[in-house]
Amino acid sequence: MRYKCKKLFNGFASVRGTTIDTCIRNNEDLAIEYDGDIMFVPYEELVSPTKFQIHRREFKSKFNSGQKYELYDFYFKPDKNRQSKLDDFFK
């Protein structure tokens, strides 16, 4: 799944828990895109019970009638060999 991040917080890209759950349910990796750069998070890291959270609280959605979600944070480090990973990702 591809996720476009609008901003970073101290170098971390925050992704909603619902996006992570969708990736886990579909057995797929996560591609985080920020400012034209892409970072890949493998499925094995998404299912890890030790996912990193800067804020350990639930947020309420402004758009989905108060649905609650958590944020998971990944240190954004763009992949250097991204073209080969992009080819594999979009097969």
Q: Where are the domains of the chain?
A: 2-80
- Percent with pLDDT over 90 in the chain: 41
- Sorting pLDDT into bands at 50, 70 and 90, what band is 3? very high
**C-beta separation of 89 from 40 below 8 A:** yes
- Percent with pLDDT over 70 in the chain: 88
CA distance linking residue 15 with residue 53, whole number of Å: 10
Residue 18 has pLDDT above 70, yes or no: yes
Residue 87 has pLDDT above 80, yes or no: no
Q: List, in sequence order, every residue forming a beta bridge with 73; answer none if it has no partner.
A: 14
pTM of the model: 0.76
pLDDT of residue 29: 92
9 contacts: CB under 8 Å, gap ≥ 6: 54, 73
Q: What's the rounded mean pLDDT across residues 39-46?
A: 90
CA distance to 8, 20, 60, 65, per residue, from 1 (Å): 19, 9, 23, 25
57 DSSP assignment: S
